Structure 1
Amino acid sequence: MKAYSISENGAQPEVCDLPDPVPVKGEALVRIRACGLNFADLLMIKGKYQETPQAPFILGLEMAGVVEELGPDTDGPAPGTRVAVYSGQGGLAELGCFPASRLVEIPDRMSFEDAAAFQIAYGTSHVALDHRAQMRPGETLLVLGAAGGVGLTAVEIGKLMGATVIACARGADKLQAAKTAGADHLIDAKTQDIRQEVKALGGADVVYDPVGGEQWQAAFRACNPEARLIPIGFASGEVPQIPANHLLVKNLTVLGLYWGGYLKFRPDVLTDSMKTLLGWYDQGRLKPHVSHVLPLERAAEGLELLRSRASTGKVVITP
């Protein structure tokens, strides 16, 4: 099979030929039809992600495809079933063996591209806003990086949950994507003062931040009393330092979120969230935004789109 693999620690990934995998007990063999790219893939290449596998390994955290075979004595979706999988690796290949317990059957109306773009981005935003921040209808949600893979889903889910959504992104094209996703107010991070603009709109009750750096600092200073701030990631490359005295004065709460971490200690949070999200999708209430669909041979180009922030929504690779 073809795969986009890292052969040894420190090496750059490349498309190569590998033996077809064979499922063992507890696994399912999936014919991969689409794989969503994530910022974590870039961190894995550098060996800086919190769960970077030991080389050799195949990149690709989330994918969708068709079950081809179950391992011996394994219960799971029957061969021919359309599924999505979050595995943390192995998605950028034609075939993959994954724990059968992680396979999620996808609705008939859901394309493989949508399914591959769905789990991490929508799951992260829903768990962040619903489970962690417990956001209430009528509150004001500020989304930084609002045109990115997770940012757009936070805008979309925030509106579904009844929030007034302020979207912050860089440039008119990206702001238009956020507006299409349902944002009520738009802030151009290139030209406008985030703190000043948010305060003029009444301040933020919840901050959703996959960016970090200066944008975090501006958002932090535009929070209302009892606001909740959710650091999702640090696409700016700068992990902000949080002044505890300011938390005290405004009664603020910072809520860390690593979506994949729930698999280890509370998988029911992810299961319940995904059930809700797939239901919303089936009702036509969610529409994944995929800006680029590329073949496996162009996986490096897809990752560069993420690195340079040239994409909106998700980039999907089709092995």
Structure 2
Amino acid sequence: MERVVQFTGPRQVEVAEQVRAEVPAGHLRVRTRYSGISAGTELTAYRGTNPYLTRTWDPEARLFRDGAAGIEYPVAGWGYSEVGEVVEIAPDLVGTPGLPQVGDMVWGIWGHRSEGIVPVERMIGHTLPAGLEPLAGAFARVGAIAYNAVLAADIHLGEDVAVFGQGVIGLLTTRLAQLSGARVTAVDALDGRLETARRYGAHHTLNARTDQVAEAIRAATAGLGADLAIEISGAYSALHEALRSVAVGGRVVASGFYQGDGIGLRLGDEFHHNRVQLVCSQIGGIPPQLSSRWSVERLQQTFLRLVAEGHVDVTSLVSHVVPAAEAADAYALLDERPAEARQIVLEF
């Protein structure tokens, strides 16, 4: 039998058993070792706020349609940060160039389940880099999300960049922005996260609850404002403050997964009067100006290479490694006590 983590309703989690399927042609079986929990996208399904629960995404029209849900409870096997060992290869794939072999550790997306049956095209080039510990492989996707936001920001050497939100992806964004030559101001409402941000290369830190963020950023830049800001928390109030913080004609990259109506976002204020550029970054695509050279696959592979080369530390971001059987407790911790957790990883 196979074990799979599923949401049976808002804030209801169970680990179910399913019959172990055969490996069809063109696929690999991977036995999961680690699976990282997303504190953003996954919590929207856990809490019941994900737009797919009330509407349907039309991929051809590129619009959400009212009237039917795109997903329904139980929502099984969410997760996009898996690492595991190849244990079986379909016979038709034997001898395929570049294919991981039985016994190889690989990273990819097959959800919070004890085994994944994955199409071969999604596994080519997904063997963990030499010397990289398996736990680090769980950061390929979240690292790519941060990397994509930094590419969308188009950072130039010496620019002032504010990063709003210092959860796991925000901390990686801070580090990648600093590696790109920016002087980074990290913003968050939790002092513990700001302390970590300083270790990840932030030049300044500001507490969103106690500091006047936009005013402080303008004071630190001789009144100009940040050249650009990256908002990655998914909070509308943070997006509004990011818009207040940048220079005239500055750029704000919105990379959070915003839920519901935009309460607290006032586009008639600084956004309008300072003619701010507002750019969306979402891992489903690369910034258009880079799409001829970059891909989501390249983002993930390059990020793991940076980790393997020692430029980015990810394993210290893991606060909890939790047996998959205790997944319900892990989600409750992220939902109710975020100050006590950073990256939570399920172990199978």
- Common fold, TM-score beyond 0.5? yes
Aligned to 2:308: 282
The match for 1:107 among 109, 113, 129 is 129
Tell me, in whole angstroms, the C-alpha distance in 2 between the residues paired with 1:296 and 1:270: 28
Residue 122 of structure 2 corresponds to residue 122 of structure 1: no
Runs of 5+ unmatched residues, structure 2: 58-69
8 Å contact 1:21–1:29 — kept in the other structure?
no
8 Å contact 1:2–1:15 — kept in the other structure?
yes
CA spacing shift, 1:187–1:297, aligned 2, 3 Å: same
Aligned to 1:140: 160
Tell me, in whole angstroms, the C-alpha distance in 2 between the residues paired with 1:317 and 1:189: 31
Residue 109 of structure 2 corresponds to residue 92 of structure 1: no
Residue 332 of structure 2 corresponds to residue 304 of structure 1: yes
For 2:331, the aligned partner's letter is L
Tell me, in whole angstroms, the C-alpha distance in 2 between the residues paired with 1:174 and 1:246: 27
Aligned to 1:27: 27
8 Å contact 1:114–1:290 — kept in the other structure?
no
Bigger CA radius of gyration: 2
8 Å contact 1:83–1:105 — kept in the other structure?
yes
Identity of aligned residues (%): 23
For 1:155, the aligned partner's letter is T
8 Å contact 1:31–1:68 — kept in the other structure?
yes
Tell me, in whole angstroms, the C-alpha distance in 1 between the residues paired with 2:11 and 2:321: 25
The match for 2:296 among 270, 279, 287 is 270
CA spacing shift, 1:246–1:11, aligned 2, 3 Å: closer
Bigger drift between 14-23 and 59-68 goes to: 14-23
How far has the Cα of 1:275 moved from its partner? 3.1
Residue 233 of structure 2 corresponds to residue 206 of structure 1: no
Residue 4 of structure 2 corresponds to residue 3 of structure 1: yes
Aligned length: 309
CA spacing shift, 1:91–1:257, aligned 2, 3 Å: same
| 1:69-96 alpha-carbon deviations (Å, 9 max, x no partner) | 123423431111111103xxx4222111
Tell me, in whole angstroms, the C-alpha distance in 2 between the residues paired with 1:53 and 1:108: 38
Tell me, in whole angstroms, the C-alpha distance in 1 between the residues paired with 2:218 and 2:259: 23
**What's the TM-score, normalizing by structure 1?**
0.87
Tell me, in whole angstroms, the C-alpha distance in 1 between the residues paired with 2:149 and 2:44: 21
Residue 110 of structure 2 corresponds to residue 81 of structure 1: no
Runs of 5+ unmatched residues, structure 1: none
CA spacing shift, 1:80–1:305, aligned 2, 3 Å: same
CA spacing shift, 1:238–1:154, aligned 2, 3 Å: farther
For 2:303, the aligned partner's letter is L
**What's the TM-score, normalizing by structure 2?**
0.80
The match for 2:187 among 153, 163, 168 is 168
CA spacing shift, 1:233–1:4, aligned 2, 3 Å: same
Tell me, in whole angstroms, the C-alpha distance in 2 between the residues paired with 1:41 and 1:216: 21
8 Å contact 1:36–1:63 — kept in the other structure?
yes
Aligned to 1:40: 41
